[in-house]
Chain A
């Protein structure tokens, strides 16, 4: 079965850093784009970033450019999101999802990031 399991969330002070991980299993990880999407408490979904199968292309929403870095390790079937200079508005549940041919079909259960000001 396809599984995506996020980890690394927690409470961090404004200006701090956190690294999220997404462990993938049950599919050929290196064959999929991977995406991070977040959801602030009580709010809608916001696309954050994605990365090509081989890591050669990465895209970000403007609000995180220069602060967040998406990466992957295909040997470890893992996706990462390095988050620096965190702000209160980054507080959200962060989901990872796999995507192939415009079809984000499996999502993890999410990990909560809380940034205290």
Chain B
């Protein structure tokens, strides 16, 4: 199975900060990676697919990059509504897998 390791697992940041989350795959997954935002008690929300394509309706402060084994999600200027947990998911091979999550909290 392909393991996805997110770093950091937790980060504390302020409104307006630039935030970067990394997702490393244990083997190459091409660009078959998605990023999600999840708030407590809610379903995950797709932010980025195909590693770098912004999902319709998602603010442009979110961006994704990478291919192969290393990927990043960047929030260019953190907003109050962005405090949540973020997950990456590989869709390249079965079983599909998720990273362990990165919780973004208010500093």
Contact = CB atoms under 8 A, between A and B. Distances in A.
A59 interface: yes
Contact of B87 (A44, A59, A61, A110): A44
Contact of A47 (B49, B50, B55, B98): B98
Nearest to B55: A105
A47 B89 CA distance: 9
B50 A102 contact: yes
Interface in A63-115: 95, 99, 102-105, 107-110
B49 A107 contact: no
A60 B95 CA distance: 7
Q: Interface residues of B: mostly helix, strand, loop or mixed?
A: loop
A103 B49 contact: yes
B32 A102 contact: yes
Contacts of B99: 44
Interface string B18-39: 0000000000000010101010
Given A95-B43, A102-B91, A107-B44, A45 B34 contact: no
Contacts of B45: 107
A93 to B, nearest CB: 9
A1 interface: no
Interface of A: 35, 37, 44-47, 50, 59-62, 95, 99, 102-105, 107-110
7 contacts: A44-B98, A45-B98, A61-B95, A95-B43, A102-B34, A103-B50, A104-B91
